[in-house]
Amino acid sequence: MKTALITLIGKPGCHLCDDARAVIDEVRAELSGRGIPTEFAELDILTDPELARLHSEDIPVVQIDGRRHAIHRVDPSRFSAAVERAARKRRLPFLSR
């Protein structure tokens, strides 16, 4: 099993970002309790002009292993299942670094 990387793209003061972060925290805790490893990163569109250009109207954005999973709202059940699938994907040796 590999560690699934969850990324939240948002900005301070965004209530939808706060809601998404709460769902992410809840799902990560539940998955951790089942031995499913995750890592979390948060990116701020106010400190990155390219992220602002790409996502200023569509935050929060939640990614799993670099692929967009959700914008605006995160469904806990759907998100949990997607993270679990990502963690269970077998990483090919020549792609691992």
pLDDT over 60 at 13, yes or no: yes
Give residue 97's pLDDT band: very low, low, confident or very high (50, 70, 90): very low
Tell me the CATH number for domain 4-88.
3.40.30.10
Domains of the chain by residue range: 4-88
> CA-to-CA distance for 95 and 16, rounded, in angstroms?
35
**Per-residue confidence (pLDDT) for residue 91, from 0 to 100:** 60
Q: For residue 27, count other CB atoms closer than 10 A to its CB.
A: 22
pLDDT over 90 at 22, yes or no: yes
**Per-residue confidence (pLDDT) for residue 25, from 0 to 100:** 98
**How large is the angle between the packed helices 15-33 and 76-88, nearest 10 degrees?**
50
pLDDT of 37-70, one tens digit each?
999 999 999 999 999 999 988 999 999 999 999 9
